[in-house]
Structure 1
Amino acid sequence: MMVKVLFVCMGNICRSPTAEAVFEKMVREAGLSDRVIVDSAGTHGYHVGEAPDVRAQIAGRKRGYDLSNLKARQITVDDFRECDFILAMDWENLTAMQQICPPMYKHKLALLMRYASENDTAVVPDPYYGGNEGFNTVLDYCEDACEGLLDVVKKRASMYTPSRNF
């Protein structure tokens, strides 16, 4: 069994691919790549097939994250069934997912920042219409929340491989 984590924002070109890259690196460094699948999607199809915003790529690269191979996609009904954690970047996208998520999977939906310990905020702000500093803020928040998320995912992954120490 694999633990599947999906990060979701509106267009899947700024916040959610950043969170995907951050968490993917943490998963790899924790030795969990064989147990955890990381992905991202958007609630809207505005940018399907596009690479992440160049500003997100530059900010990520400066901290050692590679977003260059990611392509935007829209969340699907299958995602609700297949993913274990479906984490929205803000209230609007959480609400959008709640409206289309089948009732039996709504327990999987949450805000990413619920896992944060250093930043006392509920949402990851959208940097799209702002300056470059907004992309650094997104990275700060994603790094913080993904650390907390990793602890939870490690526990879930260990349920599937009891003979392995994480």
Structure 2
Amino acid sequence: MKNSLNYKEIKSILFVCMGNICRSPTAEAIFRHKAKQANLNLSLDSAGTLGAHAREKPDHRAIKVGNDKGYSFDGIKARKVIEKDFSQFDLILAMDEDNVRNLKKVARPEYHHKIMLFLDFIEGIEEREVPDPYYGGAGGFRYVVELIEAASDSLVGKLVESRTVNS
């Protein structure tokens, strides 16, 4: 990780993609599962930079691939990022560079430090963006799950470590 986050202070995370029906709800479902397993009490949500799918359930292919691996999408519905999200969440994790740019366009400058790429938490991989699987097949959704699992494992590990080191 290239920045100097204070992991101990992170209590809320927002996952963001474009439409909030594939990547970010998958990230929310996976991270929720892994955080619960690690006994982390965090406020988690997902949203999109566009509101075209507002109030819709996640894509059925994302749900299928996630459910097959034991992740629950219960209660997750698409919504658009709102101004309050930037003050409410400690960390805003975008799935790709376009999302980062779009978020920084609408966020006040004092919140820009909270906006990061989710895959930046995985060390030693070339991939920096979670690819949008919407126009592809099931293989794309499985790859998204693999990337999100790796980033989630890394971030959950850092959060757990921060809470046990100086507690």
Which ranges of structure 1 fall in alignment gaps of 5 or more residues? none
Residue 40 of structure 2 is matched in structure 1 by 32
Matches within 5 A, 1:7-86: 7-33=15-41, 36-86=42-92
- Secondary structure at the counterpart of residue 5 of structure 1: strand
CA distance in 1, matches of 2:164, 2:81: 27
Cα gap change, 1:60 to 1:16, in 2 (>3 Å) = same
- Secondary structure at the counterpart of residue 41 of structure 1: strand
TM-score of the pair, normalised by structure 1: 0.89
Question: 1:37 offset after TM fit, Å?
Answer: 1.0
- Secondary structure at the counterpart of residue 40 of structure 1: strand
Question: 1:118 offset after TM fit, Å?
Answer: 6.2
Which ranges of structure 2 fall in alignment gaps of 5 or more residues? 1-8
Question: 1:69 offset after TM fit, Å?
Answer: 2.5
What amino acid maps onto 2:131 in structure 1?
P
- Secondary structure at the counterpart of residue 93 of structure 2: strand
Cα gap change, 1:49 to 1:24, in 2 (>3 Å) = same
Cα gap change, 1:62 to 1:80, in 2 (>3 Å) = same
CA distance in 1, matches of 2:86, 2:107: 6
What amino acid maps onto 2:81 in structure 1?
I
What amino acid maps onto 1:71 in structure 2?
K
**In angstroms, what is the RMSD of aligned CA positions?**
1.8
Residues 3 and 156 in structure 1, CA contact (< 8 A), matched pair in contact too: no
CA distance in 2, matches of 1:42, 1:156: 29
Cα gap change, 1:121 to 1:69, in 2 (>3 Å) = same
- Secondary structure at the counterpart of residue 113 of structure 2: helix
1:6 aligns with 2:14: yes
- Secondary structure at the counterpart of residue 99 of structure 1: helix
Matches within 5 A, 1:71-150: 71-117=77-123, 119-150=125-156
Residues 122 and 150 in structure 2, CA contact (< 8 A), matched pair in contact too: yes
CA distance in 2, matches of 1:37, 1:59: 24
Cα gap change, 1:69 to 1:102, in 2 (>3 Å) = same
Residues 4 and 84 in structure 1, CA contact (< 8 A), matched pair in contact too: yes
- Could you list the per-position Cα deviations for residues 57-90 of structure 1 after superposition, in whole angstroms to 9, with x for gaps in the alignment? 0000010001143100111111100111100000
CA distance in 2, matches of 1:61, 1:72: 18
